[in-house]
């Protein structure tokens, strides 16, 4: 049985795990009957050092200096036993594997970070990272690449990666969402839901600011923000408004609250994704599966998961007034229009299958090994 090793920042159980961890886990757990799969990753504070989950062996390491130490750990303990290496760029920057191994590889790149650096890092580190990123992808220009959206493929080609080397494999959603049959019931008050990690580049400040204009037209409107991470900065931002009572912040662990998530998304009137860019936006598709149209910026990733005018609406980036006006228009406009978006959203969501994604990924694996 061929041995596949995955280099990752965080595993599926990590309290800060996001869509990237889920993408790798859901695809590879469907391949365990044909490949032996080991994921080297940072675990949570209470994680076991070695654990099998869904047929995948997770080998976990402490978070301190994990980013710098993982290549050495791979070389000393796993390189000689690897038939295929997955360089999983789950925090924006790949693991630079061409520098230290000649093992056949596939690099998984969810999104080009670009201006995310300016939101997440202080100057001058942000500017340095922004300028270095194109040089990093030059290292991978001849590697087999998997990405989850056409937007990211376009970005990678622009940075010099060969287009014929890039496979777009869009993510799936859990069958509990794909087969979910929403009953059409909604919260009594017009409700907008946003589910996201509490990170600056996720644009939650835009969601908070947009409510000022929404509430001028719909005083009973509510915004519910759900996510994981440090919510301190987010709560402070809400407290500085004069409409804090209209915004609720809930903290939930990733990948472990699907039943509550389906209830919340199906009862919401709109789903909002205000990220400045995304890999794809799995949660958009989960909202669609629950019959809830999505609104977001017309930016990479989001413009792939939202079919503008059919499953939701896209708004020019950074125009908070236009974002609010779009939400108001849907919440106060023709109910039939919202119903049409809802039906199309459900249909679109059901096209997103992890089984199909795994089959496509295995095709790429076979082409490499």
Q: Where are the domains of the chain?
A: 2-172+353-368, 175-349
Task: Output the pLDDT for position 109.
Answer: 96
- Round to the nearest angstrom and report the end-to-end CA distance of the chain: 12
Share above pLDDT 70 across residues of the chain, in percent, rounded to a whole number:
100
Looking only at the bridges linking them, the beta strands covering 105-109 and 50-53 are unpaired
Instruction: Dump pLDDT digits (tens) for 3-34.
Output: 999 999 998 999 888 899 999 999 999 999 99
- The confidence score (pLDDT) of residue 66 equals 82
Q: Give the global pTM.
A: 0.95
Peptide bond into 124 cis (omega under 30): yes
Residue 274: the pLDDT is 98
**Fold topology of 2-172+353-368:** Rossmann fold (3.40.50)
pLDDT at 270 over 80: yes
Give the helix/strand (H/E) hosting 88. strand 84-89
Is pLDDT of 58 > 80?
yes
Q: What is the three-class DSSP state of 270?
A: strand
Matching fold, domains 2-172+353-368 and 175-349: yes
* pLDDT for position 61: 87
- Is the confidence at residue 91, as pLDDT, over 80? no
Question: Nearest-CA neighbor of 286 among 202, 174, 182?
Answer: 174
How far apart CA 152 and CA 173 sit, in angstroms, is: 20
Asked if the model's pLDDT at residue 266 lies above 90, the reply is: yes
Q: Would the pLDDT of 64 be above 80?
A: no
CATH for 175-349, among 1.20.1340.10, 3.30.70.2740, 3.40.50.2000, 3.40.50.300? 3.40.50.2000
Least trusted range by pLDDT, from 55-69, 100-114, 172-186 = 55-69
Give the per-residue pLDDT at 63.
78
- Site of tokens 């992808």: 137
- Tell me the average pLDDT across 72-98: 92
* Tens of pLDDT, residues 27-38: 999 999 999 999
């Amino acid at each position: 049985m061929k041995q596949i090793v995955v280099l990752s920042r965080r595993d599926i159980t990590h309290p800060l795990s996001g869509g990237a961890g889920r993408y790798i886990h859901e695809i590879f757990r469907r391949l365990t009957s044909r490949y032996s799969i080991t994921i080297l990753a940072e675990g949570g504070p209470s994680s076991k050092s070695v654990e099998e989950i869904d047929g995948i062996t997770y080998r976990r390491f402490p978070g301190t200096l994990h980013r710098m130490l993982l290549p050495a750990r791979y070389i000393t303990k796993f390189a000689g036993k690897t038939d295929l290496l997955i360089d999983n760029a789950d925090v924006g920057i790949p693991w630079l594997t061409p520098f230290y191994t000649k093992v056949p590889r596939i690099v998984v790149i969810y999104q080009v970070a670009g201006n995310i650096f300016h939101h997440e890092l202080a100057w001058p580190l942000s500017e340095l990272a922004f300028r270095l990123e194109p040089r990093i992808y030059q290292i991978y220009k001849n590697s087999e690449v998997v990405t989850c959206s056409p937007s990211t493929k376009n970005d990678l080609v622009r940075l010099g990666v060969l287009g014929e080397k890039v496979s777009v494999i869009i993510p799936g959603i859990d069958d509990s969402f794909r087969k979910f049959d929403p009953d059409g019931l909604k919260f009594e008050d017009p409700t907008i839901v946003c589910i996201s990690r509490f990170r600056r580049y996720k644009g939650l400040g835009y969601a908070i600011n947009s409510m000022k204009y929404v509430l001028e037209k719909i005083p009973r409107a509510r915004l519910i923000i759900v996510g994981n991470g440090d919510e301190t900065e987010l709560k402070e931002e809400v407290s500085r408004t004069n409409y804090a009572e209209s915004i609720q912040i809930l903290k939930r662990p990733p990948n472990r609250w699907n039943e509550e998530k389906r209830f919340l998304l199906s009862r919401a009137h709109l789903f909002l994704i205000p990220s400045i860019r995304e890999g794809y936006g799995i949660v958009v598709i989960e909202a669609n599966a629950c019959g809830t149209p999505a609104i977001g910026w017309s930016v990479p990733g989001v413009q792939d998961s939202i079919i503008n005018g059919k499953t939701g609406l896209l708004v020019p980036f950074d125009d908070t007034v236009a974002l609010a006006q779009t939400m108001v228009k849907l919440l106060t406009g023709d109910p039939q229009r919202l119903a049409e978006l809802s039906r199309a959203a459900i249909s679109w969501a059901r096209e997103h299958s992890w089984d199909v994604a795994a089959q496509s990924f295995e095709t790429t694996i076979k082409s490499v090994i």
